[in-house]
Amino acid sequence: MRTSAARQAADQAVARGIEWLEANVPRWRAKIDRETLDLAYPCKCVLGQLDGDFYEAVWRRKLDREQVRAYGLVAAPGMPYSVLTAAWRRALEAE
């Protein structure tokens, strides 16, 4: 996946993720530390910061593999985690 395509795909996934979070996780924004946010690490990613651990959050919130990819909570094949993390940071700073 080329960088521009990966960035566009990440931005779209993050927008879907924010929509899902808004509908399902009250006050989620207050729990995210943009400084330490890193989607490559299960405790520093969006779900990890919300629930303590990515894997626990996926199970607890009954998310499947396709959902976590679609919502930008994990990187899609060929997408670097740095691109996905940057997309989340841009989206969070814009709001």
pLDDT of residue 48: 97
Q: For residue range 5-60, what is the model confidence (pLDDT) as tens digits?
A: 889 999 999 999 999 999 999 999 999 999 999 999 999 999 999 999 999 999 99
Q: What is the DSSP string of 32-70?
A: --TTT--TTSTTTSHHHHHHS-HHHHHHHTT--HHHHHH
Domain spans of the chain, in order of start: 3-94
Tell me the C-alpha distance between 15 and 12, whole Å: 5
0.75 surpassed by pTM: yes
Q: Is 94 helix (H, G, I), strand (E, B) or coil?
A: helix
Q: What is the DSSP letter of 7?
A: H
